[in-house]
Every structure is written in C-alpha cells, then in structure tokens.
Structure 1
C-alpha cells in the first residue's frame, strides 16, 4: 500500500482521497497530503497551516483544518497517556478551559 507524503511512517491508516493539500510547519517546511493524513499531521504540529493545492476539491483546506481541531496529536500512538494539554486535541483543550 502506498501512502501520501504527509502520512507518518507509524500511522497505519490508509489515505483517503487524492493528495489535495500542503501542510506547512512553523518554519515553513511543507509536505503534500491527502485530507485524512493532512489533518492528522496538522493536529500534531504547533503553528501548522494548511493550503489547498490548485486542483484540490473545493473546501479541502477548511475540511482539513476543522478535522485537525478534533484530532489528538500523533493519533497513531495509542500507548501514550493523554492527560496534558499538549496531548489533547485543540477542541478538548478549549472545552476544558471553558469549564
């Protein structure tokens, strides 16, 4: 099975759809990815950004951005405890702060 460039080597999930977005980290290093792996990568970055490729399906970047909000960093790592704020999804952190 082949994976898009945004897929982490330890991530067992297959790609979903074509390569549609570019994910940039805080230092502007970028990688292309499908929406699924783009969201998982974006969720794992501090200061990451997402941009659609010119031929991407309409709304691809916003779908990736919204999906990443609810994904915990490094979701393929199921053995790590998830108790600190940096181990939770951005949505979980916001919810905890509003309580």
Structure 2
C-alpha cells in the first residue's frame, strides 16, 4: 500500500509529493507555523505575506536558505495552474522585481 502522507506544509490542493523529510518551519505574520519538506515549505512561503522560515534542529545545512531562495521564484498558490498572474500579488517576488514592481 502506498503512503499518501505529506508534510504539514503541503496545501490540500497542492498535488505534488514531498521532496524529502520535514526540515524547516514556516511561520506566517501571526506566528502560525507549519513544518515541511523543502519543496512544500517553499511553496507555502511563496504564498504568505511576511512569512519566515527556520531550519529544524536536525535539518541539513542551508535548508532554510534554500527554501527562502526557492520561494522567491514561485508565484503564490502555484498549484492553481489556471490562475491569472497579471497582478503583482499573483506573481512571484522575483518576477515583480524583474518588472520593476515594488511591494
């Protein structure tokens, strides 16, 4: 039997599998937290305003930095593939910088 367990950072509508073990904690602006693999943590962080990421104690070196950098290129709610990406709040932070849009 195949396990369908995914990390807590995986959004229920995101169909992608985890990329590995749970290695970071993502916090929103109200300090609500979700632990996650690097893949889902980056996707979650990209969808938050003023989110933060911290490595768990046993995380590989650089895990939080990789998540932070990956999130920069991911549009919010990337799993909604048909979503329009015309407004700044619908595009990745990196895309907004390329277009000269400031937050």
TM category (shorter chain) comes to over 0.9
Over the aligned positions, Cα root-mean-square deviation in angstroms equals 0.8
Normalized against structure 1, the TM-score is what?
A: 0.97
Three-state SS of the structure 2 residue aligned to 1:31 is strand
Structure 1 regions of 5+ residues with no counterpart?
Answer: none
**Count of aligned pairs:** 98
**1:18 corresponds to:** 21
Please tell me whether residue 93 in structure 1 is matched to residue 102 in structure 2. Answer: no
Task: Give the ranges of 4+ consecutive aligned residues of structure 1 lying more than 4 Å apart after TM superposition.
Answer: none
C-alpha distance in 2, partners of 1:37/1:83? Answer: 24
Match of 2:59 in 1: 56
- Give the CA deviation at 1:82: 0.6
Give me the whole-angstrom Cα distance separating, in 1, the residues matched to 2:42 and 2:18.
11
Partner deviation per Cα, 1:40-95 (whole Å, 9 max, x = no partner): 00000000000000000110000000000000000000121110000000000000
**Aligned match of 2:42:** 39
Gap regions ≥5 residues in structure 2 = none
Q: CA deviation at 1:30?
A: 0.5
How many Å separate the matches in 2 of 1:56 and 1:35? 10
Aligned to 2:32: 29
Q: TM-score, normalised by structure 2?
A: 0.93
Deviations 1:27-46 (Å, cap 9, x if unpaired)? Answer: 11101000000000000000
